Amino acid sequence: MRIMGLDYGSRTVGVAVSDGLGLTAQGVETITRSQENKLRKTCARIEELIAEYEVTAIVLGFPKNMNNTLGDRAEKTLAFRQMLEKRTGLDVFMWDERLTTVEAEHVLIEGGVRRENRKAHVDKIAAVFILQGFMDSPEGRRLLSGT
């Protein structure tokens, strides 16, 4: 069983997938689009990756505000979730993504990635953190074990 992790942003979607055993998450790519509401090609690429990696479930980063309320970005993410479920037929689990982008930036800085090159990788790394956090959780372990 493989799970896909997504970090959904206004112009990009970071993508990660689990290994076949469901132990680790690896970054795959960052899908970009020219306008926030132009999702047809983004969804088509996600569907291609689902087929390529034989994904059976999706984890979508849920951008709650720091005070645990839902803002505009969270509402758009919930709409994206519905679209993904409808188009793919897969279960889409929401995972609190607060501070994953900050974590990803720190990893890239520590790795010596130059500032101008970080944007190309930060969403993919954030997707890895989202997916790994879910897989390490009790809910993720249950899904991966099939119980």
Q: 48-84 pLDDT, tens per residue?
A: 999 999 999 999 999 877 787 777 888 999 999 999 9
Count of alpha carbons within 13 angstroms of residue 57, beta-carbon side: 22
- pTM score, whole prediction: 0.87
> What is the overall mean pLDDT for the chain?
88
Dihedrals phi, psi of 129, to nearest 5 degrees: -65, -40
Tell me how far apart the alpha carbons of residues 15 and 40 are, in angstroms, rounded to a whole number: 16
Q: 98-120 pLDDT, tens per residue?
A: 666 667 776 767 777 677 766 76
- Burial class for 114, CB neighbours closer than 10 Å (0-12, 13-18, 19+): exposed
Dihedrals phi, psi of 13, to nearest 5 degrees: -135, 115
Q: Helix (H, G, I), strand (E, B), or coil: what is residue 29?
A: strand
* CATH for the stretch 2-145: 3.30.420.140
Two structure tokens written together for 72: 């505009």
Q: Which residue type occupies 14?
A: G
